[in-house]
């Protein structure tokens, strides 16, 4: 029984209609639960949606905790490790604020109303119900070393560029944080234009930073895309072998 529950609540495999239906239903519930966040005023319909979604999320969390050993495969220890896994924490954070709606009579629970904005984390719950997202997350884990290398290079370049521009134009950049902010938006080629150099040397630094930014920003996309395509190819070959 627990094994079947685990198969249903996990991302649907090929041919498992029950699991596919569960994934679709949960994505629909997640989308419905975050719609009220787009409105400043609340209404009875929004409260009903939030209450129903919270109950469903609690049941889903209970099922996942019940089958934690099948997920983590670490025996009884899995039941203690699962609550601190990233997706489990997202589940918990998205559930807790709604207790203020489920039990408004408790003064202690009312404190959770301060954290109602945490309900936006429910959007991240959709990650666990998408096969494509699961593949991307696996690719990120597999390509962790090159991605960390690129990230470290980008962070180092931002800090160095900020130091250069901070000393080249001390009148424009009042604090080092302003320089770091400028270096970040320049590296990503966004360029909001709220802070910008006005001297010739400063503009040259900006041009160099932008060109380097194009190369650095493109690297993670290339790494993830290549890994994603390899993973899709492996999945298709595996499906062919199973058939």
- How confident is the prediction along the chain (243 residues), in pLDDT tens digits per residue? 888 888 888 876 767 788 888 888 988 988 888 888 778 777 888 888 888 888 898 999 999 999 998 888 888 898 999 899 888 888 887 787 665 555 555 444 445 455 556 667 777 777 777 777 777 778 888 888 888 888 888 889 889 989 999 998 888 888 999 999 988 888 877 777 788 888 888 888 888 888 888 888 788 888 888 888 887 787 777 767 766
Comparing 2-129 with 144-242, is the CATH topology the same?
A: no
Q: Is the pTM of this model over 0.85?
A: no
What are the C-alpha distances in Å from 13 to residues 51, 65, 88, 130? 30, 21, 21, 11
Parse the chain into domains and list their residue ranges: 2-129, 144-242
Q: CATH assignment of 144-242, given 3.40.50.2300, 3.40.50.720, 3.40.190.10, 1.10.287.70?
A: 1.10.287.70
Show the DSSP H helices in 35-95 as ranges: 44-66, 68-72, 78-81, 86-95
* 65 burial type by CB count under 10 A (0-12 exposed, 13-18 middle, 19+ buried): middle
Backbone conformation region of residue 65, classed left if phi is above 0, alpha if psi is from -120 to 50, else beta = alpha
CA angle 131–136–140, rounded 5-degree value: 145
The CATH code belonging to domain 2-129 is 1.20.120
What are the C-alpha distances in Å from 35 to residues 47, 86, 230, 234? 11, 24, 36, 37
67: its two tokens = 């089958």
């Amino acid at each position: 029984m627990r094994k079947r529950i685990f198969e249903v609540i996990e991302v649907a495999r090929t041919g498992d209609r029950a699991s596919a239906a569960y994934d679709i239903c949960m994505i629909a519930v997640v989308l419905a639960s975050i719609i009220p966040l787009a409105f400043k005023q609340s209404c009875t319909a929004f409260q009903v949606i939030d209450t129903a979604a919270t109950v469903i999320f609690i049941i889903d969390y209970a099922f996942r905790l019940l089958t934690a050993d099948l997920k983590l495969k670490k025996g009884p220890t899995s039941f203690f490790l699962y609550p601190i896994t990233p997706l489990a924490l997202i589940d918990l954070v998205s559930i807790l604020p709604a207790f203020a709606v489920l039990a408004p009579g408790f003064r202690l629970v009312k404190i959770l109303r301060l954290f109602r904005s945490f309900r936006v984390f429910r959007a991240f719950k959709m990650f666990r119900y998408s096969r494509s997202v699961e593949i991307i997350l696996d690719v990120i884990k597999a390509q962790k070393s090159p991605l960390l290398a690129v990230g470290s290079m980008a962070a180092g370049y931002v800090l160095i560029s900020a130091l250069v521009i901070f000393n080249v134009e001390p009148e424009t950049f009042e604090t080092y944080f302003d320089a770091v902010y400028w270096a970040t938006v320049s590296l990503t080629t966004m360029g909001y234009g709220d802070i910008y150099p006005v001297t010739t040397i400063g503009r040259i630094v900006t041009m160099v930073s932008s060109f380097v930014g194009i190369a650095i920003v493109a690297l993670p996309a290339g790494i993830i895309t290549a890994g994603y395509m390899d993973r899709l190819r492996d999945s298709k070959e595996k499906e062919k072998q199973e058939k």
